[in-house]
């Protein structure tokens, strides 16, 4: 384990820079139609919204049907990507029940 010591002033300067950066990102997102970084969905939310199993969700990722991003071992989805496959999912359900 490595311990790093930093002066209070340096830490506060880094925190202020990060805060300004976050404000700029928010401003850019607002210009892009109000999209937000906080609106990413996780596996559970997507399964609930689409009424599918986690295994089906895995298949959608594996075959490239649903785009995703992964941070460490957690997977996230853009809501607009999830909405774009709703018709596909509903269409497959209709075919199976006919």
CATH of the domain at 61: 1.10.1660
What integer is the mean pLDDT of 74-78? 94
- Note the pLDDT tens digit of each residue in 12-68: 999 999 888 888 877 777 776 655 555 899 999 999 999 999 999 999 999 999 999
Q: Which of 8-17, 41-50, 74-83, 89-98 has the lowest mean pLDDT?
A: 89-98
- Global confidence as pTM: 0.56
Q: Are residues 87 and 63 in the same domain?
A: yes
Query: How many domains does the chain contain in total?
Result: 2
Q: Are residues 82 and 51 in the same domain?
A: yes
Q: Are residues 32 and 67 in the same domain?
A: no
Closest CA to 44 of 75, 67, 68, 89: 75
Q: Which domain holds residue 46?
A: 40-97
């Amino acid at each position: 384990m490595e311990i790093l010591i930093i002066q209070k002033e340096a830490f506060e300067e880094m925190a202020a820079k990060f805060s300004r950066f976050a404000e700029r990102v928010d401003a850019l997102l607002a210009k892009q139609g109000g999209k937000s970084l906080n609106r990413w969905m996780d596996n559970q939310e997507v399964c609930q919204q689409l009424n599918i199993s986690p295994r089906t969700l895995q298949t959608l990722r594996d075959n490239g049907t649903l785009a995703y991003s992964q941070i460490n071992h957690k997977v996230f989805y853009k809501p607009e990507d999830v909405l774009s496959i709703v018709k596909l999912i509903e269409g497959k359900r209709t075919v199976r029940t006919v």
